[in-house]
Amino acid sequence: MNKPDQALRIVVKAAGTALVAVFGVIGSAHAASIENGKALVESHNCAACHGAKFTNPVSNEYPKLAGQHADYLVFALRGYQVGTGNPNFGRNNAIMQAQVQSLSLSDMKDIAAYIESLPGDLVEKK
């Protein structure tokens, strides 16, 4: 066998291995738990600022969260966790930064699934 054929086989084998690895990671994605999200929200006392039903925050400075898209919530929570360490991604709020430091990505997904499941008055433009 000549060297170009060997190189091609190596590249094809490496690409196949990479695809298997990618699909393995996708297949093991965390399925969010609304029940665990509710427990986390209660233990972190989120209602103290965002309101008991997450529709009536204690201050206009805090967002209404009930019904918000889960992917947005996870993105926001991760931003608070990163903080000002990354100006392109991080969010700067001392209260939220302290609240999310102990959360794993799975915890954030659970919290987001719970909050998204709550009835709210957020609407999409039509």
Burial grade of 71 (CB within 10 A; 0-12, 13-18, 19 or more): exposed
- pTM (two decimals): 0.72
Contacts of 17 (CB under 8 A, 6+ apart): none
Q: What's the residue count for the chain?
A: 126
Tens place of pLDDT per residue across the chain (126 aa): 556 666 656 655 655 554 444 444 444 466 889 999 999 999 999 999 999 999 999 999 999 999 999 999 999 999 999 887 777 778 888 899 999 999 999 999 999 999 999 999 877 666
